[in-house]
Structure 1
Amino acid sequence: MIRGMIRPALACAGLAVVLGVAPEPADAREARPFQRQPLVVAIHVHSTFSTGSLTVEQLAVEAERLGLDAVALTDNLVLQYEYGIFPLRGVVRAVFSLPSVLGAGAQAFLTEVADVQRRHSRILLIPGVEVTPHYYWTGSVFDQTLTMHNSQRNLLVLGLSSPDDYDALPGYGNTATYRFGWESALNLVPGLLFIPAAWLWRLRTYRSAHVGPLFYRATRRYRMAAACLGGIAAGLLVNAWPFAQPLYSPYDSRLGYQPDQAVIDAAAARGGVVLWSMPEARDHSVHTFGPVGPVTVETRPYPEALILTSRYTGFGGVYEDNRTITRAGEIWDQVLGAYLAGQRPTVPVMAGEIAFHGPGQDEKTLDRVVTVAWSRERTPAGVLEAIRAGRVYAVQRAKPDYRLRLDNFRVECEDGTIDAGSGETFPWAGCPLLVRLRVSATDEGSHPVTVTLIRSGRVLARATGQTPLEHVVMEPAGFAGAVSPVGGPTGSGREALFYRLEVKGEGGGELLSNPIFVKPVMRDS
């Protein structure tokens, strides 16, 4: 049976007396989260460099107006889709493209971000891109069953500072990462047409005739036909450019997450923050794809990506679409448990995504979904470091005049000697554990909320009240963990665990924290 005690804020002082804990001043508790500044960040924002309707400058102005601290730009690295007819797929093909970072030039993108940053020092601008690692085709153009899969299975890559870093990302359409292979030879097949074209250019035929005493000889040349044939060859070669091939074919449906892992590895090797973008969002539509005709575009939810890939920084856990993986005991908790068990090297950090393309799009505003980062410094590097460390929480605002705010969320010993917050690991030597939390609203008003404390994938405590809402949860001394205790290397008999917080507000408002880890250590003798 899961044991825990939970008391509302009005009873905190009395609870402290009962437990023998001296109540610390509220101001001290609220100021303690890492002694770092909370920065409000909008993640997943598009500008006119790709599919957004606002320039980088206009986004900075809008962020200033809304009181944001930072904007993480995620313009599309490349937006290019193509379909070719077998066996000359690279030659007889239709290509559809939209503006993108590589289309404009990565250097131009970075320069614009830096220039706007100098003019708007109040807002931190973090350069980044949205990458489509791979898509593939099924069906046939001839019976109008053609379907493009996974064009919206995307990764967000933040913080790359060099054009070379962007050129190295093997997203589909990034020709800098293409290679030459036997398929490239097929793209050169139209060049063979230059041989008959040259022959026709040189070809002459003669006709001779006698008219009375006169002899006529007519010469016929075929240069018009040669020019036409050469033009066709040149046109097909231009259409086949570049002759190199992507690392992963868009006609191969068996690749799984191999292309995605390649992008993750390339970005991580260059110091980028990599987030799985909206892993449970659905995309299904039908479009006319030029001469190809009607094409079904479909991306199914991909929550399994959190399990089947590694080395990524985190994922979008709060966004305006269907979400289940952050529920107690679901995929996120399973992956966190695998990390504690030593089966995964990194912690998947949860962040919020706004997927902002411009005002008026689905009535979105730039601040409707934000990520609050407890940053050591007010710089883009400080924000990225906080995301990597998991010192962030995500908020979805439902009301225009306020959003929920996490003032305090910490695990500490009953005597207050050791504590830890989101993204940190608490070294547990067996003392009684206290979990402190405080939730308020940015307008300092009173609003209904339901607070759920999750311990290692199971609901430990739940309470409903009005903001500001403060709770203390106590785990008794000798508590062994969320499941059956197992003896680890410490021989402590206690099991590592984690705590995380979920808050539901009125009208669909929501707040999710990242976990605090508790790992047992040997008690000093």
Structure 2
Amino acid sequence: MTFLGILSAIFPATVFALYIQIDGIADIKTNFSEGCSPITDIANQAERQKIDAVLFSDFARNSIEFGVKPFEKIFKDIYQGPSVLERGAGGYLSEIKDNDRKFERTLLIPGVETIPFYFWTGSHYDKNLMAHNRDKHMLVFGLPSAQEYEQLPLPNSNFSKNYINEFLNDFLIIGFIFLLTVGAVYKGYSRKITVPLMLFFALLTVNNHPFQSTPFDAYKGDQGMEPYQNFIDFTTSKGGLVFWNHMEINTGISQKDTLSLETLPYPDDLLKTQNYTGFQAVGDTPIRQTEPGQQWDQRAGEVDEGVPARWTAEGVPPLLSAG
């Protein structure tokens, strides 16, 4: 049952008191991100077609950045598309909630599609710069407020206090050196040297501030499942539901404007992560991880042996795409 897992978390008493099968659509984009239609138009269409539930999943943050070391967070190229966090999570949630009140039949459920991590290889100089795993996505539903959506551990996102401890030591050391250079300039010591040093360490201090949105550095290569497990753990700790999405993507190397991107199919990640809520099991192309003996059978076997999983259902199928 596709939507039972989501509704059981949102309305546990109702769902478990009575097993209800509903007609729903998921992974719906609006004009908050890459869709063409506003929320109201999609809700109207769903109501006319007697659809019981619409699960919206606009991109939380739809950007990719490449900067110049050691000031990669200051001097950088930014490729950014429209997204919920760019336009405001509060407005996104409020608009869905306001429209939900207007429709008697159709339930409107807010959510976001996320890019928890990507990493760079190569360089501009060698003309082989490539971003990996940017198309490895997760869907998130059920977070209690806009603040939780704004604090999701995503690359290139909002200032966060969640990872201060990971960055504080470097920040304090660099900041201390910066203060020493300020003192040297103030006292007039060899200003041809100390002034450039002061400016260098000022920029380095800003670049290494401790309020990073994620503890994982896109310039340190593939970091395995840690960024994704961290994302799952954060989301579930805030009461949200998290789903692996389009794991059978037909990609490899592709282009986005002038960028080279690579994301390989990732169904084995079902076996490498824990405590996610579910995964997409219906799509435009065959979903093989639900076939006998494949990843979901293997994962279900681990659950029987005591490895935790929150929901052994079929995930969220993208049955309709808005826009």
TM-score class, shorter-chain normalisation, is 0.7 to 0.9
Matching of residues 66-465 of structure 1 within 5 Å: 66-177=49-160, 179=164, 180-181=167-168, 244-245=211-212, 246-283=214-251, 284-288=253-257, 294-354=258-318, 357-359=321-323
* Deviation string, structure 1 residues 400-426 (Cα, Å, up to 9, x no partner): xxxxxxxxxxxxxxxxxxxxxxxxxxx
* Deviation string, structure 1 residues 82-139 (Cα, Å, up to 9, x no partner): 1012222223211122221111222111111111111223210011111111100011
CA gap of 1:45–1:72, structure 2 versus 1, over 3 A, is same
Structure 1 residue 326: Cα displacement:
1.1
Q: Which amino acid aligns with 2:255?
A: V
Distance 2:63 2:46 in 1: 30
Q: Is the 8 A contact 1:69 1:124 kept in 2?
A: yes
Structure 1 residue 174: Cα displacement:
2.6
CA gap of 1:115–1:305, structure 2 versus 1, over 3 A, is same
Distance 1:184 1:92 in 2: 18
Distance 1:348 1:172 in 2: 29
CA gap of 1:45–1:187, structure 2 versus 1, over 3 A, is farther
Distance 1:37 1:355 in 2: 19
* Deviation string, structure 1 residues 364-416 (Cα, Å, up to 9, x no partner): xxxxxxxxxxxxxxxxxxxxxxxxxxxxxxxxxxxxxxxxxxxxxxxxxxxxx
* Deviation string, structure 1 residues 124-158 (Cα, Å, up to 9, x no partner): 00111111111000111112111111111111111
Structure 1 residue 45: Cα displacement:
0.9
* Deviation string, structure 1 residues 65-84 (Cα, Å, up to 9, x no partner): 32211001111111121101
Which entry has the higher C-alpha Rg, 1 or 2? 1
Q: Which amino acid aligns with 2:275?
A: R
More moved, 149-158 vs 174-183: 174-183
Name the count of aligned residue pairs.
284
* Deviation string, structure 1 residues 323-373 (Cα, Å, up to 9, x no partner): 2111111111111111112233444321342275534xxxxxxxxxxxxxx
Structure 1 alignment gaps of length 5 or more: 1-32, 200-228, 289-293, 360-525
Distance 1:258 1:249 in 2: 12
Aligned-pair identity (%): 31
Secondary structure of 1:165's aligned partner: helix
CA gap of 1:187–1:146, structure 2 versus 1, over 3 A, is farther
More moved, 177-186 vs 91-100: 177-186
Q: Which amino acid aligns with 2:276?
A: Y
Secondary structure of 2:262's aligned partner: strand
Q: Which amino acid aligns with 1:134?
A: F
CA gap of 1:182–1:98, structure 2 versus 1, over 3 A, is farther
Secondary structure of 2:256's aligned partner: strand
CA gap of 1:86–1:156, structure 2 versus 1, over 3 A, is same
Matching of residues 11-90 of structure 1 within 5 Å: 36-90=19-73
CA gap of 1:111–1:345, structure 2 versus 1, over 3 A, is closer
More strand by share: 1
CA gap of 1:91–1:346, structure 2 versus 1, over 3 A, is closer
Q: Is the 8 A contact 2:276 2:309 kept in 1?
A: no
Q: Which amino acid aligns with 2:306?
A: G
Q: Is the 8 A contact 1:44 1:356 kept in 2?
A: yes
Distance 2:69 2:85 in 1: 28
More helix by share: 2
Q: Is the 8 A contact 1:273 1:312 kept in 2?
A: yes
Query: TM-score if structure 1 supplies the norm length?
Result: 0.49
CA gap of 1:261–1:137, structure 2 versus 1, over 3 A, is same
| Greater RCO structure (CA 8 Å; 6+ sep) | 2
Secondary structure of 1:259's aligned partner: helix
Q: Is the 8 A contact 2:24 2:53 kept in 1?
A: yes
CA gap of 1:358–1:343, structure 2 versus 1, over 3 A, is closer
Query: TM-score if structure 2 supplies the norm length?
Result: 0.78
Q: Which amino acid aligns with 1:156?
A: L
Structure 2 alignment gaps of length 5 or more: 1-15, 187-195
Q: Is the 8 A contact 1:187 1:243 kept in 2?
A: no
Q: Which amino acid aligns with 1:129?
A: V
